[in-house]
């Protein structure tokens, strides 16, 4: 696992050894997710791609009337 998004404010999921790369807010419900990357993989361009991918995933979850999970594995 090189990158993960973790819902802000929840307490179960953590990424202690990962670098925080930014925060993304769901346009529909306003929940925020912090994008974390493995320190050996840190890449700003990849984080931007991951944020765009995450936006689509969050929108799709609303289309399917699903709740957002606390942790979402991101593509490399």
DSSP string of 7-73, one letter each residue: ETT-SS---TTSEEEEEEE-TTT--EEEEEE-TTT--HHHHHHHHHHHHHHHHHHHHTT-PPPSEEE
- Residue appearing with tokens 């990849």: 46
On the question of pLDDT at 59 being above 80, the answer is yes
On the question of pLDDT at 1 being above 80, the answer is no
What local confidence, expressed as pLDDT, does residue 35 receive? 98
With beta carbons less than 8 A apart as the criterion, state whether 28 and 59 touch: yes
Phi (first) and psi of residue 25, to 5 degrees: -105, 135
pTM for the model stands at 0.93
What local confidence, expressed as pLDDT, does residue 46 receive? 96
pLDDT tens track for 19-50:
999 999 999 999 999 999 999 999 999 999 99
């Amino acid at each position: 696992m090189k990158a993960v998004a973790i819902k802000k404010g929840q307490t179960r999921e953590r990424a202690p050894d990962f670098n925080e790369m930014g925060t993304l807010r769901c346009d529909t419900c306003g929940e925020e997710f912090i994008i974390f990357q493995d320190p050996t993989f840190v890449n700003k361009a990849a984080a931007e791609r991951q944020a765009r991918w995450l936006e689509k995933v969050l929108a799709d979850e609303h289309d399917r009337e699903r709740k957002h999970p606390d942790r979402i594995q991101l593509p490399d």
